[in-house]
Structure 1
Amino acid sequence: MAGIGFELRRMLRKNTLIHLVQAYAYAGVIGSGPWVFSIVGILLVGIFSASVVVPSHLVTQFQTSVTYLVAGSLILTGLVQLAFTRFVSDRLFEKRRELILPNLHGLLLLVLLASGLIGTVALFVVLPGEGLLYRLLMLAGFVIMCGVWVVTILLSGMKRYKIIVALFGLAYLLIVGVSLLLRPWGLEGLLGGFVIGNYVLLAGMWVLIVREFNPRGPLIAFDFAQRSLLYPSLMLIGLLYNLGVWVDKFMFWYFPPTSDAIVGHLRASLIYDLPVFLAYLSIIPGMAVFLVRIETDFVEFYDKFYDAVRSGGSLEYIESMRDEMVYSIQQGLAEIGKIQTLAVLVTMVAGPAALSALGISQLYLPLLHVQTVGAGLQVGLMAILNVFFYLDQRRTVLLLCVQFVVLNVALTGFTLWAGAALYGYGFALATLITLCTGLFMLSRQLGRLEYETFMLQ
């Protein structure tokens, strides 16, 4: 979608340090989204609550509960995120913006109903015997998080980056602040702060979208559900990708030697979760670089290439734009590699001090290093998948996502069997192998891009 790309290009053309920082800050916030910021909120609430006011086991229960809310909502909404993104992109290309808001309302209605139903069943299956208020807050948090992931789809199409940054900042300050104010009420107080903050985020994003897309016509529509506009492959890709990201965590959570029962049937892996959380903080710069490079250099030449194809440009010009596309992809991946390498080096230098400040054993350090590498590789994989989406190679993306899930399950299972020395290597190796496969397939695809483009007309 062109909104963020247009804004990033406008800022970068001014060629000043301030506008360069603004471009990367905007890209970092939109690219990382509430996923990474949720991690920050969880860690801060845990750090500030670790006192006599809130016993440590209640803080652990809060962090575990929120982690399951994030994981479950991402996997569930993965079924619709990519498919609806494609629907919105097609309507923008057709200049039919008036269809976007009613269909967003229709999708939100279906997602909130589905998440409410699934969450209600989970309360009795996963959290039997827990307090009523806690279970209701878990249900509310799950439904709201599902809504947040759906509404986030449209943020990249908006140019009000200052308001968006301020909204994210306000929401997560609320999560930390309200959780701390309510911590005398224990687990329910901490969880209540998380729910309130995300509700403010969801409501704020909805208001911004309504103002951006100017509601006209019907309030609600379900055009996206028409068979001709559905993309089952994108639905499956969204589900598999999110499952691939989380499946190793679930395996560690429910493998008895590496986990503990926390609340109800929810389990956590204390030796695995904290390094994973800290490692994902390192992807914010990589996500910013990924978004800036993809939405500026690559998209600019991508547009010129396909405009030339549609308007009858010369073969020499078409090949030149193809070469520029390839070069921009290479440059983008190289910059992501540099940034994430720097993140690994910073982790190696600052890791011991960071773990000590958080009261975490130095035994976690090797796993933190491995997870930081794995998180960096995941940013590279996301960049490759995004390029394939632009080229409309859905079958290729689906094959890569299947490979990612299968490898993560198989290699994580092997590391669990082999012992603690290999923990974390399953996810990192699965991501690395899938990334290498994607690079090979992308190189091959770009080499015959003109042929396939013309043969598909």
Structure 2
Amino acid sequence: MAGIGFELKKLFNKKGYFYSSRAYIYSTIVSAAPLILCTLMVTFIQLLLTFIKVPFMEGQLFLASVVYAFIFSQIITSGFTMVITRYISDRLFSKEYDYILSSLYGVLTLTLAVGALIGGVFYYISPIEINIKIASYVLYMELIMLWVEFVYLSALKDYTKVAKAFFIGVAVTMMLAFLFIKINTLNIVLYMLLAMDIGIFITVIMLLYYIEKFFNVENNKYFDFIRYFKRYPSLFLINLSYTLGIYIHNIIFWNSKLGVSIYNTYRYAPLYDVAVFYAFLSGIPSIVTFVVSVETSFYDKYKMYYGFITNGGNFRDIQRAKNDMTNTLWREILHIMQIQLVFTILFLLLGKIILPRFGVIGISLDMFNILVIGVYCNMMMLVFVLLQLYFDDRKGALMVTSIFILSNIILTICTLFLGTNYYGFGFFGAAFISATIGFLRLSLFMRDIDYHTFCSQPVISK
């Protein structure tokens, strides 16, 4: 989150709801904008398709094309984004700004190459119409670029421009979707995908322009960041295992009795996937609250503690700073838990009223209820993992995310054998177990923070 903290502090230091609202909007943009972007686009287009009574299978083809592009673009880029985040932070700290823009070009080249190969093979063997293949493939590649650019957005201080890029992308998609339906209702799936392609392309190009303008110097070391894969391999595995853990239960359900095949290309479990989608929207508040809490409250105490250590503070100063940091840490965690609990209860109550109007009824609504509670546990697990990374406890973070994906696989498969009454409990159980282990690991680490800080360093510098 390099660069966002200073802007948030400036806004929160000013009095009034206007500045506080701007601060929360800023943190929302840099933490959940792609999810919100795709949600608005897909929801609007689905309402249009429902209004003009598009055949069921065509609507499912559109939805599956978007879902696959969103999920697999995120999986492919997940490991890269964690490593490049560390690389950018180090370059900003050492004031080597010319490496940052070069790294963007390098990581885009690498992720697009990997994504192009995987996506190319998938769509090559697909029997769907060639035009829809191309439109889906373009959407998938654009989302790869968007996920990579998203890593660099927190360093941009002009968040209004970032918001404008996302807003224009959504607005263009909606206008084009409406226009295409007015002009022609034949091959509607292709035109809806084209509308999304154009809207996201505009957002990607605008963000790329803002990043290039902000980091206006570069060198020719485009792949210098690759050495960080050797230095911090655990970072790659941590984010990859977490992202896979987020979606692995969906993939398992795709191949269950709930799964259906769409044009012999996509496997999809509508009853489960729709419940998961709406449930995960409830997790956005905790992500935003975490960004605000860490950058405006916890980081100052964190910086003071390590500042006394590196700048020759005495024992009393270090201990006082440690106590302040620890107290602030647990206070902010409790604050995040309370905020997320409020939204979890709100989603559970509103879900019973609103979701049936979108066709979420019966078993799907039951799964939504347990998945919302699972998302609460998952968000807490994510908070613990991110805080472990703040203290460079990569071993602990990897342990928690590995347990998350393994337990998610095992428990989800078990629920398939237990029957429909247990669907959703696999994800909930995995999230609860990993959140509990994450909490225990962070607690033990904070109890022995002085030991980890001093004894983890080499006795003789190399």
2 CA distance for matches of 1:124 and 1:217?
37
Residue in 1 that maps onto 2:64: 64
The answer for the alignment partner of 2:87 in structure 1 is 87
1:388 corresponds in structure 2 to: 388
- Alpha-carbon distance between aligned partners in 1 of 2:69 and 2:2, rounded to the nearest angstrom: 31
Alignment pair present for 1:259 and 2:254: no
Residue type of the alignment partner of 1:246: Y
State yes or no: 1:451 paired with 2:451: yes
Please give the alpha-carbon distance, in whole angstroms, between the structure 1 residues aligned to 2:120 and 2:151. 26
User: Paired residue for 1:132?
Assistant: 130
Q: In the superposition, relative to structure 1, how do residues 361 and 380 fare at CA in structure 2: closer, same or farther (>3 Å)?
A: same
**C-alpha displacement of 1:272:** 0.7
Aligned to 1:169: 167
Measure the CA separation in 2 of the matches of 1:228 and 1:344: 37
CA distance in 1, matches of 2:79, 2:72: 12
AA at the equivalent of 1:199: F
The number of equivalent residue pairs is 453
Q: Which residue number in structure 1 is paired with residue 176 of structure 2?
A: 178
Deviation per CA, 1:144-173: give whole Å up to 9, x if none: 111111110011122111111222222123
SS at match of 2:392: coil
Could you tell me which residue of structure 1 aligns to residue 435 of structure 2? 435
Contact 2:100 2:218 in 1 (8 A): no
Distance change (3 Å), C-alpha of 1:228 and 1:425: closer
Q: Is the 8 A contact 1:352 1:362 kept in 2?
A: no
| Superposition pairs of residues 243-282 of structure 1, within 5 angstroms | 243-255=244-256, 257-282=257-282
Give RMSD over aligned pairs.
1.7
Q: Secondary structure at the match of 1:442?
A: helix
Question: Which of 147, 151, 154 is the matching residue for 1:153?
Answer: 151
Which residue of 2 is the match for residue 4 of structure 1?
4
Query: Does the CA contact (< 8 Å) of 2:234 and 2:394 recur in 1?
Result: yes
Change (3 A) 1:263 1:201: farther
SS of match in other structure, 2:368: helix
Offset at 1:230? 4.3
Deviation at 1:313, TM superposition (A): 0.8
CA distance 1:228–1:171, shift in 2 (3 Å): closer
Aligned residue in 1 for 2:240: 239
Deviation digits for residues 357-413 of structure 1, max 9, x if unmatched? Answer: 323325432222211122222222221111111111111111111100101001111
What is the CA–CA distance in structure 1 between the aligned matches of 2:297 and 2:236, rounded to whole Å? 28
Instruction: Kindly provide the amino acid, as one letter, of the partner of residue 270 in structure 2.
Output: L
Which secondary structure does the structure 1 equivalent of 2:222 belong to? coil
After superposition, the C-alpha distances for 1:60-101 in whole angstroms (9 at most, x for unaligned) are 211111111111111111121101111111111111111100
Change beyond 3 A, Cα 1:72–1:216: closer
Which stretch shifts more, 366-375 or 237-246? 366-375
Q: State the one-letter code of the partner of 1:422.
A: Y
Q: Tell me if structure 1 keeps the 8 A contact 2:305–2:321.
A: yes
Moved more, 222-231 or 245-254: 222-231
Q: Is the 8 A contact 2:415 2:422 kept in 1?
A: yes
Residue number among 164, 177, 201 corresponding to 1:199 in the alignment: 201
In structure 2, C-alpha distance between the alignment counterparts of 1:378 and 1:32, rounded to whole Å: 16
Match of residue 103 from structure 1: 103
Q: Which moved more, 1:71-80 or 1:276-285?
A: 276-285
**Contact 2:97 2:217 (8 Å CA) reproduced:** no
Confirm or deny: 8 A CA contact 2:62 2:193 kept in the other structure: yes
Change beyond 3 A, Cα 1:104–1:230: farther
Residue deviations 1:190-248 (CA, integer Å, cap 9, x gap): 11112112211211111111111112444x61111236864211111121111000000
More relative contact order, 1 or 2 (CA 8 Å, 6+ apart) = 1
Does the CA contact (< 8 Å) of 2:3 and 2:155 recur in 1? yes
How many angstroms does 1:340 deviate by? 2.0
Deviations 1:259-287 (A, max 9, x none): 11123331111111111111122222222
Partner amino acid, structure 1, of 2:237: L
CA–CA separation in structure 2 for the residues paired with 1:209 and 1:299: 25
How many Å apart are 1:434 and its aligned residue? 0.4
Provide Cα deviations, 1:1-57, integer angstroms capped at 9, x if missing partner: 431111111111113221111111211221113024313322221122213363232
Between the aligned partners of 1:401 and 1:363, the Cα distance in structure 2 is: 29
TM-superposed CA distance for 1:303, in Å, is: 1.0
Q: Is the 8 A contact 1:388 1:397 kept in 2?
A: yes
Distance 1:265 1:330 in 2: 47
Q: Secondary structure at the match of 1:50?
A: helix
Call closer, same or farther: CA 1:252–1:180 in 2, change over 3 Å: farther
Question: Cα 1:39–1:189, aligned 2, differ >3 Å: closer, same or farther?
Answer: same
Moved more, 431-440 or 313-322: 313-322
Contact 1:244 / 1:404 at 8 angstroms: preserved in 2? Answer: yes
Distance 1:42 1:277, change over 3 A: same
Contact 1:352/1:365 (CA < 8 Å) preserved in 2?
yes
- CA gap of 1:152–1:204, structure 2 versus 1, over 3 A, is same
TM-score norm. by structure 1 comes to: 0.95
Q: Distance in 1 between matches of 2:316 and 2:353?
A: 56
Gaps of 5+ in 1: none
How far apart, CA to CA, are the structure 1 residues paired with 2:229 and 2:419?
Answer: 50
Report the secondary structure of 2:154's partner residue. helix
2:225 is matched with which residue? 224
Name the TM-score, length of structure 2 as normaliser: 0.94
Distance 1:318 1:444 in 2: 19
Which letter does structure 1 place at the counterpart of 2:166? F
Contact 2:83-2:228 at 8 Å conserved across structures:
no
Distance 1:32 1:418 in 2: 35
CA–CA distance in 2 between the matches of 1:407 and 1:245? 12
Distance 1:176 1:263, change over 3 A: farther
Classify the secondary structure of the residue corresponding to 1:2. Answer: coil
* Partners of 1:13 and 1:263 in 2: CA distance: 55
> 1:136 corresponds to which letter in structure 2?
I
Runs of 4 or more, structure 1, over 4 Å off, are 227-230
- Residue matched to 2:211: 209
Q: How far apart, CA to CA, are the structure 2 residues paired with 1:163 and 1:418?
A: 50
Residues 290 and 379 in structure 1, CA contact (< 8 A), matched pair in contact too: no
Contact 1:344–1:369 at 8 Å: present in 2 too? Answer: no
Q: Percent same amino acid among aligned pairs?
A: 27
Q: What stretches of structure 2 of length at least 5 have no aligned partner?
A: 458-462
Residue identity matched to 2:91: R
Contact 1:289 1:332 in 2 (8 A): no
